[in-house]
Amino acid sequence: MNKITSEQIKNLFTLPLNELIFKAREIHKKNFEDGDVQLASLISIKTGSCPEDCKYCPQSAHYNVNLKKENLIDVSEVKEAAKLAKKNGANRFCMGAAWKKLRDGKDIDAVIEMIKEVKSLDLEACVTLGSITKDQAERLKDAGLDAYNHNIDTSPDYYKKIITTRTFDERLETIQNARQAGISVCSGGIIGMGESWNDRAEMLRVLANLEPQPESVPINALVPVEGTPLQNQKIVEPEEMIIMIATARIIMPKSRIRLSAGRKYLSSETQMLCLLSGANSIFYGDSLLTTKNNDMQRDKELIKQFKQINKSNSKELINKYLIIFTDKIASTVNY
Ligand code: SAM
Ligand code: DTB
Ligand code: SF4
């Protein structure tokens, strides 16, 4: 496959918003069943005291955040949470641990039990545990793991400004280890950390040029948490999220693009435009890992409405949502 260049991505970023959205919709419709939205629920299986210094993260031990820290929780707790997620309509269950890397011995053994419980409920199982080796990836795969979440977070350049306790290349290595074990890859990033549009283009370029492309791509908007170095970052503008989602959809046509953290700052109109632009997964449930998520009932209503509009494919309706944004686009993208 031809490599995707930063220039191509920047050309998409600067398209008039309506053109970008309709282009993304066209590609989306060719590659996915109409209106299918994956609901992924999250649980934190080990919370806080992480040795890494990711500037955005409330779970890093380097910052003073008001957070209830917790050791690895019991398998029975995971089972109950997964059952509830399933009952609420989730199709995927993702378990996150505030670890730099997965340790052999009791930690991996417990995670394997958790994966088996989730799989027995007929849910897709995903974990995000920090770095893993090839051997560990194989053991997780044997337990039935479907996906490994390991975000590249931002551009290779900007990465050094956000995290100093590991390198961007180490991140790619774990992604490769999961991939080689036959686990599907979930990798994306965060916007709103002070990065430029150039960094955003670089992040998408790296993701789109992974071979094969990641099956899932979470696009997170920073949740600025008090006590972290990024606590005073301003909330991302709605159109920034739409541009990222639509562009990701165009350059990664077969990946599930997930409208991820930060959704609580987006109006239902903005979320609707993200779905209409090709986002086909959301984090669903009361909470993300340590912060609050959107109301589940409202999410169900949003998706129901989205399915109707999507099916009708009414340009008029889509334009109605769009009209509030089109005037702003010229001032959004600056390099
Ligand atoms: N420790 C593991 C790791 O870093 O891969 C797994 C858990 S970590 C919390 C998973 C991802 O959550 C991070 O890679 C980051 O993209 C996202 N994340 C963490 N804090 C966030 C925040 N405040 N806003 C948005 N996304 C965040
Ligand atoms: C991802 O890309 N976003 C999720 C998931 N993968 C693990 C985590 C979002 C965390 C937001 C901040 C928090 O709740 O701690
Ligand atoms: Fe630790 Fe993951 Fe948070 Fe970084 S993002 S501090 S590795 S939990």
pLDDT in tens, 257-267: 999 999 999 88
Nearest to 200 by CA among 17, 335, 48: 335
In order along its 335 residues, the chain shows pLDDT tens digits of 679 999 999 999 999 888 899 999 999 999 997 789 999 999 999 999 999 999 999 999 999 999 999 999 999 999 999 999 999 999 999 999 999 999 999 999 999 999 999 999 999 999 999 999 999 999 999 999 999 999 999 999 999 999 999 999 999 999 999 999 999 999 999 999 999 999 999 999 999 999 999 999 999 999 999 999 999 999 999 999 999 999 999 999 999 999 999 999 988 888 999 999 999 999 999 999 999 999 999 999 999 999 988 888 777 878 877 776 555 544 455 54
Query: Does 271 reside within a domain?
Result: yes
SS3 291: coil
Q: Domains in the chain: how many in total?
A: 1
Identify the domain containing residue 296 by its residue range.
6-325
Answer whether residue 331 is part of any domain. no
Residue 334 lies in a domain: no
Backbone angles phi, psi at 251, to 5 degrees: -90, -15
Would residue 120 count as lying in a domain?
A: yes
Is residue 252 included in any domain, yes or no?
A: yes
Domain CATH number, residue 18? 3.20.20.70
Instruction: Check: CB of residue 221 under 8 Å from CB of residue 241.
Output: yes
Evaluate: CB of 54 within 6 angstroms of ligand 3: yes
- Please state the pTM of the whole predicted model: 0.95
User: Which residues have any ligand 1 atom within 6 Å of their CB?
Assistant: 56-57, 59, 96, 98-99, 128, 130, 150-151, 153, 190, 220, 222-223, 225, 261, 289
Backbone CA torsion sign across 171, 174, 178, 181: positive
Q: Is the CB of 153 under 6 A from ligand 3?
A: no
Contact 176, 137 (CB under 8 A): no
What is the CB neighbour count within 10 angstroms for residue 267? 10
Q: What is the separation of C-alpha 317 from the centre of its chain, rounded to a whole number of angstroms?
A: 27
CA of 330 to the centre of ligand 1 (A): 31
Tokens of 237: 């503008």
Q: Which long-range contacts (CB under 8 A, 24 or more apart) does 101-104 make?
A: 101/129, 101/130, 101/131, 101/132, 102/129, 102/130, 102/131, 102/132, 102/136, 104/136
Cα 26 to ligand 1 centroid, rounded to whole Å: 31
Transcribe 76-115 into DSSP letters: HHHHHHHHHHHHTT-SEEEEEE--SBPPTTHHHHHHHHHH
φ, ψ for residue 154 (rounded to 5)?
-160, -165
Please say if 274 is a catalytic residue. Answer: no
Q: Is 96 in the pocket of ligand 3 (CB under 6 A)?
A: no
CA of 60 to the centre of ligand 1 (A): 10
Q: Which two tokens stand for residue 12?
A: 């998409």
189 alpha carbon to ligand 2 midpoint, in Å? 10
Query: Of the listed 54, 92, 205, 274, which one is catalytic?
Result: 54
Q: Provide the β-strand partners of residue 97.
A: 46
**Could you give the C-alpha distances from 174 to 145, 150, 151, 167, 180, in angstroms and in order?**
15, 8, 10, 11, 10
Name the strand (E) or helix (H) holding 193. Answer: none
Q: What is the largest CA-CA distance in the chain?
A: 58
288 CA from centroid of ligand 2 (Å)? 6
By CB atoms closer than 10 A (0-12, 13-18, 19+), residue 1 is exposed
- C-alpha distances in angstroms, 173 versus 7, 131, 132, 228, 294? 26, 8, 9, 27, 33
pLDDT tens, 287-327? 999 999 999 999 999 999 999 888 887 778 788 777 765 55
**Tokens (6 digits) for 301:** 């209503």
Active site residue 57: yes
In this structure, the residue with its CA closest to atom 3 of ligand 1 is 130
Does 60 contact ligand 3 (Cβ within 6 A)? yes
**Whole-number Å distance between alpha carbons of 277 and 240:** 13
Determine whether 186 is an active site residue: yes
Which residue in the list 186, 200, 205, 256 is annotated as catalytic? 186
Of 265, 144, 158, nearest to 201 (Cα)?
158
Pocket of ligand 2 (CB under 6 A): 42, 58, 94, 96, 128, 149, 151, 188, 218, 220, 223, 260-261, 288-291
Rounded CA-CA distance 259/267 in Å is 13
Q: For the purposes of burial, counting CB atoms within 10 Å of the CB of 6, is it exposed (0-12), middle (13-18) or buried (19 or more)?
A: middle
